[in-house]
Structure 1
Amino acid sequence: MQTTHTGGVDGEGNVVDAGAKSRQRGVFESRYTTRFRDILDGTSNTIACGEIVTDAGNLEINSQPKMNQQDPFFFDPELCYRDNVDPNRPQFWANANDTGAADQRRGKRWADGRPMFTSVNTVRPPNKESCLWGGDGSDGTYTMGSRHQGGCHILMADGAVKFITDSIEAGNQNRATLPKAGQPGEESPYGLWGALGTKAGKETKSLE
């Protein structure tokens, strides 16, 4: 599901951070219902779901997350990648530190509603890394990915399935994520990719 984070709602459904709720951008929000009428940017311009890679246990950045990254990477989403990737094999982590247990990775525990297993967002481009503030239920950059050459499939809110390349225009990758530094209604800093993940931001950019 194309979502962002917990939306400022605690486990009992109480709004504990109204600002976080107002900055929700994806089609799906934790503990809230979304209807087609809520997708103001148009169902053909808005990503509903995206493909993810099932972890093979080999330190691939698109299936094994880097956990416990805390606040710094929220203010520079590319920081986690720069600090942890193997420079000689940029699709792999340099080490297994903070990649979690085997059942805390993409494609595991499919019935678990935590973001690691169910969520994607449009911050980092396809097949880049997933980095988390804390554990598998925390905020993070949850990337889409696949084992297809050069990209992954997405499901638009109108039901269309499209293939997105890893090189899709993704704006300023060093710009802080909107839940941390942005204002409600602000345009996504992540270019076409970010705009496609916004359901009601008046960012009607199209893949066509």
Structure 2
Amino acid sequence: MKVSRESLRLRITGAHEHSILLALAPYYEQANVYNAFNVNVHYTGPDTTGGADINWTMTNIGVSTIWCPSDPDVQEMRRLTYWLGSQGGFPMRYTSYKGNAGPWPTPARSTDPADAIFGAQKSNALGLFYYYSSTKLSDIRDGTSNTLMFGETAYGLLDEGSKVEWHWWTSGNYGDTMFTTYYPLNPHRKLANGTSVGVNTSVFVVTASSLHPGGANFCMADGSVRFIKDTVNTWPHNSNGSPTAVTASNGVFTVGPPGFGVYQALSTRKGGEVISADQY
């Protein structure tokens, strides 16, 4: 199922949508790429109607560091032809890795800091990366070795239409460079509707996944890499993957009994959970 964001891109243009992978580029030997990006404008432009396509050169740069060797489709450049500009279509490169936004996506993409609900939404953000985040090492109170920082998200398992629309490496949106633990790890192996093409794209792009058998690789906040198994304990969910004990109102999520599973607890930075490595 293809999920398009064409209707949103015309009204959402905040600098909060800049990618964490782009911000980190100087630290994985891509300072020249970072320096080519104009941080004063949106990552798509600002003008995608035929004028100055300021950041389009940046979006066309492929960075092999953020491509999983088991995910070869991620290496291909694709053009969004509904954004014509001066190059005959907006060029985009993609990523196999995303930052941990916690158990749910909040603050919402369309929420502005001036909105009355912004404070509650930001307080409800439990991961390391989210819109307007500024997480410090001292904020990770659950222990850096027990907190997810980055995870795999298998680009190659998307249907062809969604490969154009998601995993954009210069975008800071949920579904591009952030994942949540709201849905189970590797949903294409667990949900009732079967393969990745059958799993709703809006589920798949905000979930950690891989092409490896039995689980996926994650980078913890201490820099170590762990392989987390598909069998990791997770909160109960219904047939479409939504957790049965979570409710949301105005972008603020509340979890009831039985609470977080081990997988969700690993994605919170200060939940106070005690987790041992043999639980995942």
Interval of TM-score (by shorter of Structure 1 and Structure 2) = 0.5 to 0.7
Q: Which amino acid aligns with 1:177?
A: V
Alignment check: 8 A CA contact 2:153 2:205 kept: no
Please state which structure has a larger fraction of its residues in helix. 2
Q: Pick from 6, 9, 21: which aligns with 2:122?
A: 21
TM-score of the aligned structures, taking structure 2 as reference length: 0.49
CA distance in 2, matches of 1:14, 1:24: 17
Greater relative contact order (CA < 8 Å, ≥ 6 in sequence): 1
Q: Which amino acid aligns with 2:107?
A: G
Please say which structure displays the higher CA radius of gyration. Answer: 2
Q: Report percent identity of matched pairs.
A: 28
Paired residue secondary structure (2:228)? strand
CA distance in 2, matches of 1:140, 1:41: 27
The runs of at least 4 aligned residues of structure 1 exceeding 6 Å deviation read: none
Paired residue secondary structure (1:33)? coil
Structure 1 residue 5: deviation in Å? 2.2
In structure 2, the partner of 1:149 is: 213
CA distance in 2, matches of 1:123, 1:158: 23
Alignment check: 8 A CA contact 2:130 2:178 kept: no
CA distance in 2, matches of 1:7, 1:20: 5
In structure 1, the partner of 2:181 is: 122
Per-residue CA deviation, residues 149-180 of structure 1 (Å, 9 max, x unaligned), is 11110111111100011111112224243655
In structure 1, the partner of 2:100 is: 2
> CA, structure 1 residues 197+163, in 2 after alignment: closer, same or farther (shift >3 Å)?
same
CA distance in 2, matches of 1:40, 1:187: 23
Within 5 Å, give how 1:53-202 maps onto structure 2.
53-55=154-156, 60=157, 63=158, 101-105=162-166, 107=167, 109-128=168-187, 142-174=206-238, 175-177=244-246, 179-180=248-249, 182-183=253-254, 189-202=259-272
Per-residue CA deviation, residues 96-140 of structure 1 (Å, 9 max, x unaligned), is xxx9654213x4x2111111111111122221157577xxxxx99
CA distance in 2, matches of 1:113, 1:140: 17
Aligned residues: 160
CA distance in 2, matches of 1:52, 1:121: 11
Alignment check: 8 A CA contact 2:218 2:228 kept: yes
TM-score of the aligned structures, taking structure 1 as reference length: 0.64
Unmatched segments (≥5 aa) in structure 1: 65-98, 134-138
Alignment check: 8 A CA contact 1:127 1:144 kept: yes
